[in-house]
Amino acid sequence: MLSVFKKIWNFSIEEQVYLKKSIFANFFGSIFNALQFAAIYYAIFGIVNKDISFKTIGISSLFLLISIAGVIISKNSSMLKQTHAGYFMAGHKRIELGEKIKKVPMGFFSSLSLGNLTTIATTNLDNVETWVPTLCIMVFGGMLNAIVFILSLFLFSYKVGIVAIVGSIVFLMIIARMQKRSSKNADKIHEIQVSLTKEVLSTLQGMQIIKSYNLRGSNNKKLDKSFDSASEYSFDLEKTIMPYSLLAKIIIAITICLMLFISIKLYFVENGQIVNTIMILIASFVIFDGLITSGSAIAMLRMVENAIDSYSYVNDMEDMKEGSITEPIKNHNIVFKNVSFSYDDRPILKNVSAEIKENTMTAIVGPSGSGKTTFCNLIARFWDVKSGEILIGGKNIKDYKIENLMNSISMVFQDVYLFEDTIENNIKFGKQDASHDEVVEAAKKARCHEF
């Protein structure tokens, strides 16, 4: 359990200050929450001693008002900071993922399932931004409330306090075991999520073909199988951890019964104070509410741990090696020298040599699948050549900084993708500060101004 919170802490580098403030706010909230027992104690003390005066009512009410106001302020502060940490934590990682993708070679994507990256960027980081704030509120809030309440029991009876501590420790041991048991399935869960996302994306991307040829029903077997596998495995996982959850609740019930027995015994056998006995009876029914809430939340830690662990795959992606030349490219002659390239084991280009002069128009002609698109993509260094070299301005493109190289290359792809924005802003992706006239001129040169 502690290892998961350590992962959350390390994962939230930019948001650690908000998590710290949230924990402090939760701590003070627990203290304010315990003040309600001071109000109850003072009221019961007055009733038992037949001292029901305005002073007694006023002091009890004051304690209660301070408790309510303190809890509202501290919990509000804690929730805001935890929510900020959760959403911005996921936001930073999505931006980091986007920056990382721009630095990896295109060959990386040919060997990586698109569903994997999609699962990390959507499902897994959604779990982080949703569950990190919730878990922090439920776990830290519940734990701190339980600690403060249990320590308060020692003011009335050390025996009851010891029973509460022992019961809480056994409860947490069972919950920790449950969390450890569920964590063993983290890799399998991620594998199923990736498979499911991959099949959904594949189906959506091919929907035009599916509808055109009426490929429905039995042709969706792989998608149906992915849905069935995800639901069956999730159900089996819940059945696995259910005995631990039930046992933990039984331990709490036994602990409460022991506390009630000891408190009544203290009064009738050991002539304890009736006020203390009543306070212990009241506390017995509410003291473990926060602990039970924490236990339920701890069971969900496996989702956050799985999400954080899956992001390590992004950190393992190797950046494309780049050179150090940052000076603007002045000579734009392109030269291929004995270039060979293949996709995995499938050769596409073999010992190709060519020269393309600047300020000229060159057509790459050949049958389908002959490597025309690959030839052009190699210029932009979407892939690195297997052998030979490509020169721009007399220098190997590998010697340029990637950003410097791309500033000198513009491309119109066969499969055009439009971002959810205006046409003008889509064209501006190549030059963010372009004026409207420059956008129009670019559209005319690309033969797409008419529409």
- Give the tens place of pLDDT for each residue, 341-352: 988 778 889 999
Is residue 111's pLDDT more than 60?
no
Domain that holds residue 428: 334-445
User: In this structure, what are the phi and psi dihedrals at residue 393, rounded to the nearest 5 degrees?
Assistant: 65, 25
For 351-362, write each residue's pLDDT tens digit.
Answer: 999 999 998 999
Q: Which of 288, 316, 344 is the last residue of a domain?
A: 316
In this structure, the number of other CB atoms found within 10 A of the CB of residue 73 comes to 14
β-bridge partners, 347: 342
Q: What residue type is assigned to position 360 of the chain?
A: T
147 and 35 within one domain: yes
Are residue 390 and residue 244 in the same domain, yes or no? no
Whether 297 and 340 map to the same domain: the answer is no
For residues 71 and 139, state if they share a domain: yes
If one counts the domains in the chain, the total is: 2
CB contact set of 157 (below 8 Å; sequence gap of 6+):
262, 263, 266, 272, 276, 280
Write down the pLDDT at residue 106: 66
Listed range (97-101, 112-116, 436-440) with the worst mean pLDDT = 112-116
Neighbours of 164 (CB within 10 A): 28
SS3 385: coil
Same domain, 168 and 256: yes
Cα–Cα distance, 257 to 263 (Å, whole number): 10
How does pLDDT run across 232-288, given as a tens digit for each residue?
Answer: 777 777 777 778 888 888 998 899 899 888 888 877 776 667 888 888 888 888 788
Dihedral pair phi/psi, residue 182, rounded to 5°: -75, -30
Q: Among the listed ranges 137-146, 200-209, 252-261, 409-418, which one has the minimum average pLDDT value?
A: 200-209
Q: What is the mean pLDDT of residues 368-394?
A: 88
Asked, for residue 321, whether it belongs to a domain, the answer is: no
Is there a domain that residue 451 lies in?
Answer: no
For residues 40-71, one letter each, b for 16 or more C-beta atoms within 10 angstroms of the residue's C-beta and e for the rest, the string is bbbbbbbeeeeeeeeebeebbeebbeebeebb
- Among 283, 316, 349, the domain-final residue is 316
Given a cut of 80, is residue 193 above it in pLDDT? no
Q: Which tens digit of pLDDT belongs to each residue from 298-340?
A: 767 777 777 787 777 777 777 778 888 888 888 899 999 999 9
**What percent of the chain has a predicted confidence (pLDDT) above 70?**
89
Are 354 and 250 in the same domain? no
